[in-house]
Structure formats: C-alpha cells, structure tokens
Homo-oligomer: A and B are copies of this chain.
Amino acid sequence: MRKTTIGFLGCGNVGGGVFALLEGTAGQIAHRDGIEFVLKRALVRDINKARSVPIPARLLTDRPEDVLDDPQIDIVLEFLGGEQPAIDFMLRALRNGKTVVTANKVALALGWHLLQAEAQKYGGGLYYEASVCGAIPVIRALTDSLQANRIDAVMGIINGTTNYILTRMAKEGKDYAQVLFDAQRLGLAEPDPSADVDGYDAAYKLSILASLAFHAHVPVGRIYREGIGSISARDIAYGKEMGLTLKLLAVAKRNNSVVEVRVHPTFVPNEHPLASVSGAFNAVFLKGHAFGEMMFYGQGAGDAPTASAVVSDLIMAAAAPRHWHPTFANQEQASPELGFDTNWASVYFIRLSASDKPGVLSAITGCFGAHEVSIASMVQHSGIDNDRVPLVFVTHRAHEQSVMQALKDMKPEDATVESVIRVEGR
C-alpha cells in the first residue's frame, strides 16, 4: 500500500463531494490500486463555517501556505473556481514540485500555458478531467483513447443550465425570461446568469476540448460566442415543425490547419444523437477519421459527478510514474500554425417579418440569390402583425458572411430579420 498525501484548495460543494467519495471508496481504491489517500489540509475562506460534509475541523485552514508549501503534500486538488487566486495558487504548488488536479475550466483555459510550463519544469502533473463536462471522461478519451485519429469535429452541449432552459422552453412553449426566472428560483441558474446564458462557460470548455482535439492552442478569445437570450418560443416552435431541436452548441471544426470555433444557439435535426440530450445533461459528439462518429453523454455538473472525475484523475496522478502533457505549443496566444475561419459554412434558419405585399417575396429571395445563398425550404406561417407575416427560410449550406450580407441588403420596408439560427449535424 502506498500512501499519497493530498491537500484541498477549497472545500465547498465540489471539495465536499470529493471528500465524501474518497471516504466511501477508500477500501475499493486500496484494493484495486494499492493507494491510500490521506487528506492533510483543506484551504477554506472561513474555518468556522458549518459544512455539510463531516470533514474534521483540524484539517481546515485559512492559510494558503499550509497546503501549497507543505512538503508532505504530494497532490493538490483545486476547487476554488475562477481565474484568481486559483492560477497563482496552482503555480505555487507546481513550483513546489506538487501535482495539481483541477476542476476549474476558467483557470485552465486562461492559465494553461503557465501551468503546463511549471508542471514540466518541476516534474509535477497537471490533471483536469473534471474541468469539462463533469464525470464524462471526454478529456481522457481525447488524450488516451482516440489519439490515433485526426479529429475533424467536436460538437458539444457542454452547458447544463442553458440546455435545461432550452429543453423546458421546447416542452412547455414558454418564453426565455419565464423559464430563466424559474430556473433561478430552483437554483439551476445563477442570480447573474451571464456566464451560462451568454455562452462564456461553454467557450472556456470548448477552448480546452478544441485544443486537445486539434493538438494546438485554441484560446477562448478566438471563439465566436452568442448566447440564448434572444431565443424566442416561436423559433423553437417553428424549428420543431421542421424536425429541428434547439441547443446551445459548442462547435469546433478543422480543415487541415484552418479551424472554426463557435458557441451559439443551433438547431440540430431530431434524429441526430445530440437532439435527444435533454435537461441538464451534457454531451460531446466527435468526428474522427478512423472512429467515425462518437458521442459521450452524461451529467456535466453536480458535486458527485464532478467528484467522480476528480478522484479518477487523482488515482491516475498517484499511479503515474511520469506525467503526460500535450505536445502542442502551449502558449497564451493561438498556436501559430492555426488559421481561424470566421466565414464558416453552415445551414441557416432565418425568420423574417415580411411585408404582406406583392413583390416582397421576390425582393427577399433576390437578396439571397445575389449572395449565392440558396434556399432549401420556406414556410410562411399564418398570422399577421401590423401588415407583417412571419416567413421562415432554411438555406442550403452557405457562408456566414454571404448570409449576413444578404440580410443586410433587405429593405426594412420589405422585411426585418427576427432571428438567424445556424443548423448543424445534417
């Protein structure tokens, strides 16, 4: 039996979940892996605060150095969340030769280059399965299972809050604001929901996934980002009639050294595996040149699922004779060999409010035609508001800028654009 001494940075929900899971599976881990984990100290903000997990009070400390600088601690587990002080604390632990396991997507996405450099310099490991999609082993799949593939596409439902909101909007026909309010009331959305609903959370995770998939650094700042705030119940209903389900999708595609990376509301066909991922569940769909299509589905958040990934990393870290690091140039900026395509090709769902007069439809389709945007289907929905009728177009594959230019060319007296939603997975 080998004893591995660990320290926690943070002991809230996730830390408590890890403590409980380690307690509950100690016998199994000892038997299977021959390792005994001993928690020496846990850094908390307030050592007197009541905790739901029965962690002994003597293990709590409010002094970072008790964890970061204790030479007996082999592995530091970071649950602080956010950029700072998480990055600085992890750097200090790594400089002390420790291995770090983190569940922190923000700190990893923003500080990966710094963290990896110190890990490599001082011989420690850096493990982050829990930073993306909770228990779902998508990081391990990319690094250890699908490594003989060229990954061509990653498409993920990687934010549970937005998927919960969109699922309820679709089921109940309610508007965004109504469902968001309800989600906040139930504790499923934050009082300030921006990180989730504006796509920031998904962009951090996509930065990590795309970097590993493409063996090149894809910074979060290069990811196009659009939230779900302007989605209406009407878009979801019209899409449903056309066999489409709305998701906040994180998309990364690669064509040789050119990539496109984007987070935005996206329709997927009902028969696509991503369409049936509902509620707070997450899923990551991958395309690779050898494995073809693959999808990982599971709980992307929550204390116990996150703890499952953290403890898995911890066992891996403790058992590894040496630590693996990505071989791409891990730097703050994008890897120099990467080109970023913002004029991607997609299918577009476009809802217009059009004037109900002769010649208008011809003018509208003329704008599309002038920019080589070809229409796959058009539905004129019933109901007129102030002489305006709702028109929904679905295009064939077209380029982003062509579509935007075509819409710009439309005369306001003919039609105004109500929504533009990309369609993937056909």
Q: Across the interface, which residues of B come within 8 angstroms of A294, CB to CB?
A: 135-136, 296-299
Contacts A135-B291, A135-B294, A141-B137 given: A148-B276 contact, CB under 8 Å? no
* Docked pose: A289 CA to B148 CA in angstroms: 32
Q: Which of A24-32, A41-49, A352-360 contacts B (4 or more CB under 8 A)?
A: A24-32
Are A148 and B291 in contact, CB atoms less than 8 angstroms apart?
no
Interface membership of A50, Cβ < 8 A: no
Are A140 and B148 in contact, CB atoms less than 8 angstroms apart?
no
A147's contact among B134, B296, B305, B315, by CB below 8 Å, is which?
A: B315
Minimum C-beta distance from A282 to chain B (A): 10
Are A290 and B21 in contact, CB atoms less than 8 angstroms apart?
yes
Query: A275: nearest residue on chain B (CB-CB)?
Result: B276
* Docked pose: A134 CA to B292 CA in angstroms: 11
Contacts A296-B296, A304-B292, A321-B321 given: A315-B148 contact, CB under 8 Å? yes
Minimum C-beta distance from A32 to chain B (A): 5
Contacts A291-B305, A295-B298 given: A148-B311 contact, CB under 8 Å? yes
* Docked pose: A64 CA to B299 CA in angstroms: 47
* Docked pose: A134 CA to B145 CA in angstroms: 11
Q: Across the interface, which residues of B come within 8 angstroms of A291, CB to CB?
A: 134-135, 298-299, 304-305, 308
Query: A31: nearest residue on chain B (CB-CB)?
Result: B327
Per assembly, the copies of the chain total 2
Minimum C-beta distance from A160 to chain B (A): 12
Q: Mark A5-48, 1 if CB is under 8 A from B, else 0.
A: 00000000000000001100100110111000000000000000
Interface membership of A271, Cβ < 8 A: yes
Minimum C-beta distance from A348 to chain B (A): 25
A308's contact among B148, B276, B281, by CB below 8 Å, is which?
A: B148
Q: Across the interface, which residues of B come within 8 angstroms of A84, CB to CB?
A: none
Interface membership of A59, Cβ < 8 A: no
Are A290 and B276 in contact, CB atoms less than 8 angstroms apart?
no
Interface membership of A302, Cβ < 8 A: yes
Contacts A148-B311, A149-B308, A321-B321 given: A327-B135 contact, CB under 8 Å? no
Interface membership of A312, Cβ < 8 A: yes
Are B137 and A312 in contact, CB atoms less than 8 angstroms apart?
no
Interface membership of A425, Cβ < 8 A: no
* Docked pose: A215 CA to B178 CA in angstroms: 47
Contacts A304-B291, A305-B290 given: A312-B148 contact, CB under 8 Å? yes
Are B147 and A32 in contact, CB atoms less than 8 angstroms apart?
yes
Q: Across the interface, which residues of B come within 8 angstroms of A141, CB to CB?
A: 137, 140-141
Q: Across the interface, which residues of B come within 8 angstroms of A135, CB to CB?
A: 146, 288, 290-292, 294
Interface membership of A387, Cβ < 8 A: no
A276's contact among B25, B144, B145, B271, by CB below 8 Å, is which?
A: B271
Interface membership of A316, Cβ < 8 A: yes
Q: Across the interface, which residues of B come within 8 angstroms of A288, CB to CB?
A: 135, 308
Minimum C-beta distance from A142 to chain B (A): 10
Interface membership of A307, Cβ < 8 A: yes
Q: Across the interface, which residues of B come within 8 angstroms of A260, CB to CB?
A: none
